[in-house]
Structure 1
Amino acid sequence: MSFVAWSMVLAAVALGSCWVAGSGVWDVRFPGGSSRTSSIFAARNAIVLLSAGVDRWKQDAPFSATTDGMSRIEHAAAAYASCKANGRVCNVIISGGDPEGHGIADAELYAEQIVTLGVEQADVVLEARSNTTYENAKYVEPLLRSGRYDVVVLVTSAYHMRRAEIAFDRVGLHVIPDAAQAERAEFSVIPRRHNFYLARRALHEWGGIVQLRLFDWAGIP
């Protein structure tokens, strides 16, 4: 095949990939969790909330949870209310450090926000060192072991749940997935900017899953 022919093929592939990403046709429902019901809770329960970063909407405004982060916070607060309804022991373990160097750990900020939704301060446990999904699992693991919980519910966004489950499985923890809603791509014949952002997010998740699988294959702890 000539150089010109190869160039045309590569250009077609690039344009096709660009359209697929921007159109949203690639979007499928990410594996999420089972629906939350009060029957999953036992005597001692942990609800593990994974952070989704912080942001501020104006230059001089205080940091707050991202849109995805707030969805997770609200979902975890609802799970907590369901758990506490029958007088059970229920702790919310919030996991998230400060990977972007904002000066406040995600876990600290999320704790402030979840308390306003009815979660008792005494029932909140912070893990403020982790900067990756695998570190979430790694640093939460000793907290779960020491708490001797009967049930561990994992709360994160639906698009992130599969990678999070794999990470927790790698450290020997069985969790019950309870996925919070997140934005999904909307199909459009004309590529949309927001679909490109969501496609990038999906590639990040798939890349993270591949990385964890490669770690398993290579025997890397």
Structure 2
Amino acid sequence: MLTLLLLLLWACAMLALWRRRRALAIVMALTSLPLLMGIGPVAQWWLDGIQGTPPHVQTPQWQPSATIIVLGAGLQGSPGNSRPSVPGYSRLLVAAQAFHACNDTGATCRILVSGGHTRTGLPSEAEVYARELHALAIPPQSLVLEDASLNTWQNAHRSAELTRQMQPTQIVLVTSGLHMRRSLQYFRHAGIAAEGLASDHADAMPGLLPTSFNMMLAEYALRERIGILRYHAYNKLGWNEPPALPTHLNPQTTTHASPH
């Protein structure tokens, strides 16, 4: 259906040019541009611009005291049967793998789960994700829950408050590949110099025909770009608080979340 729509728009544009209706042809061509994002190579170029090319599998060089921060990615299900979203499960798996790798070195390792009540009637993301981490053999005493955040900006600032209390020597941030760039930016603003550990890498469906799946991924990448632009705009306008000093330089600094 998307291919048919794209061909129809191009046909209308060619017809308008043939009839010397240049303005109409331009409108038709511009209307078809979003559909181009559904084409495999175009979509992958757009995605890699925000998440980078596929990284090699890397294991952090664990330090004596490490905190792994995993960001919530939403919930699904009913109040009595709530569970993480599909992206949430990939973040939990990578966080659990990182914890066990860290623990095997003899380091003191903890997982900070950040996510509040993002859906009415459901538990907090932190509570549900902690339950799943228990099932992945993470001991309860190694979990810290931050259950008040409703967005990435709040994730960063509320997690910063907790990590200042824990004072780890290393912070590893686990989130989706498309979400990583903006997340690290917000955490730096909150005074947290974290290492990024992406839980996935978005790959577009190959092919020269547009697909709704590729358009969905492209829209997500667009939202991330808008979020980054908004962050810089808010800084220019003075709507964001000044960046916090790095945690190890100013452990007593606290911050307050702004709506992002």
Q: TM-score, normalised by structure 2?
A: 0.77
CA contact (8 A) 2:75 2:84 kept: yes
**2:169 & 2:57 partners in 1: Cα distance?**
18
- Find out whether 1:23 has 2:42 as its counterpart: no
Q: Percent of aligned pairs with the same residue?
A: 27
CA contact (8 A) 1:68 1:182 kept: no
Compared CA separation, residues 184 and 33, structure 1 to 2 (3 A): closer
RMSD value over aligned CA atoms?
2.0
Aligned residues: 215
**1:167 & 1:176 partners in 2: Cα distance?**
13
- Find out whether 1:49 has 2:70 as its counterpart: yes
**1:10 & 1:130 partners in 2: Cα distance?**
42
Shift of 1:218: 2.0
Q: TM-score, normalised by structure 1?
A: 0.90
Bigger relative contact order, structure 1 or 2 (CA pairs below 8 A, ≥6 apart): 1
**2:56 & 2:236 partners in 1: Cα distance?**
28
CA contact (8 A) 2:76 2:83 kept: yes
- Find out whether 1:8 has 2:30 as its counterpart: no
Compared CA separation, residues 115 and 49, structure 1 to 2 (3 A): same
CA contact (8 A) 2:177 2:201 kept: yes
**1:131 & 1:81 partners in 2: Cα distance?**
28
**2:227 & 2:180 partners in 1: Cα distance?**
12
Shift of 1:100: 2.7
Superimposed CA distance per residue, residues 69-91 of structure 1 (whole angstroms, 9 cap, x where no aligned partner): 10000000000001100221111
- Find out whether 1:37 has 2:59 as its counterpart: yes
**1:61 & 1:7 partners in 2: Cα distance?**
54
Superimposed CA distance per residue, residues 87-115 of structure 1 (whole angstroms, 9 cap, x where no aligned partner): 21111000011223242111110000011
Structure 2 counterpart SS, 1:26: helix
CA contact (8 A) 1:33 1:178 kept: no
Match of 1:166 in 2: 185
Greater shift after overlay, 78-87 or 5-14?
Answer: 5-14
Compared CA separation, residues 68 and 182, structure 1 to 2 (3 A): farther
CA contact (8 A) 1:35 1:178 kept: no
Structure 1 counterpart SS, 2:123: coil
Unaligned runs of 5+ in 2: 1-19, 242-260
Pick aligned residue for 1:69 from 88, 108, 111: 88
Match of 1:117 in 2: 136
Match of 1:105 in 2: 124
CA contact (8 A) 1:93 1:124 kept: yes
CA contact (8 A) 2:160 2:190 kept: yes
Structure 2 counterpart SS, 1:41: coil
**2:231 & 2:150 partners in 1: Cα distance?**
15
Match of 2:198 in 1: 179
Greater shift after overlay, 20-29 or 114-123?
Answer: 20-29
Unaligned runs of 5+ in 1: none
Compared CA separation, residues 33 and 177, structure 1 to 2 (3 A): farther
CA contact (8 A) 2:69 2:114 kept: yes
Compared CA separation, residues 62 and 182, structure 1 to 2 (3 A): farther
**1:16 & 1:201 partners in 2: Cα distance?**
16
